[in-house]
């Protein structure tokens, strides 16, 4: 089994209408869809963790030189559509299954029941982090898209 991180941000997909303008029953259908998918993934044993995050307006950015007290600040913040809204970690047989689950997340209904087609980011969770120079160079090459 391989773990994948599926992240959801506030990119609207094909929906131009902000959720604040959706009818209450459209919001209910949206949330019910997510709840049903979560139950399905819990029943199959594929979901490891599923979380909704607080808004970035209460987030903190921490930097430290490792000697003095850390510096804790608010912002700068990304555009709304780039805010990370939540994530799931799934443990699945293949990347294809992770993509299948991401497609279900992307199809969450919006206004009029239309699938939002919201972009879902799919990233494999590595079993081991780079532990020496050679492994780090290999990881950096992959991160840069060089294979």
In the predicted model, what is the mean pLDDT of residues 103-107?
Answer: 95
CB 10 within 8 A of CB 80: yes
In the predicted model, what is the mean pLDDT of residues 114-122?
Answer: 93
More confident residue, 40 or 52: 40
> Looking at the predicted structure, is the pLDDT value of residue 147 above 50?
no
What per-residue confidence (pLDDT) applies to 37? Answer: 95
> Looking at the predicted structure, is the pLDDT value of residue 6 above 70?
yes
More confident residue, 57 or 1: 1
Task: Give me the domains of the chain, ranges plus CATH numbers.
Answer: 2-143 (3.30.70.1060)
Global pTM reads 0.81
User: How would residue 58 be classed by pLDDT, with cut points 50, 70 and 90?
Assistant: confident
In the predicted model, what is the mean pLDDT of residues 27-42?
Answer: 95
């Amino acid at each position: 089994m391989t773990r994948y991180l599926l992240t959801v941000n506030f990119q609207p997909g094909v929906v131009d209408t902000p959720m604040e303008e959706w009818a209450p029953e459209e919001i209910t259908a949206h949330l019910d869809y997510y709840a049903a998918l979560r139950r399905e993934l819990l029943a199959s044993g594929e979901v490891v963790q599923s979380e909704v995050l607080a808004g970035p307006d209460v987030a903190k950015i921490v930097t430290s030189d490792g000697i003095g007290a850390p510096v804790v600040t608010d912002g700068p913040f990304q555009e709304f559509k780039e805010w990370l809204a939540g994530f799931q970690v799934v443990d699945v047989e293949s990347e294809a299954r992770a993509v299948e689950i991401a497609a279900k997340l992307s199809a969450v209904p919006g206004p009029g029941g239309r699938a939002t087609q919201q972009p879902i980011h799919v990233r494999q969770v590595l079993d081991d982090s780079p532990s020496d120079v050679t492994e780090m160079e290999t990881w950096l090459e992959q991160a840069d898209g060089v294979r």
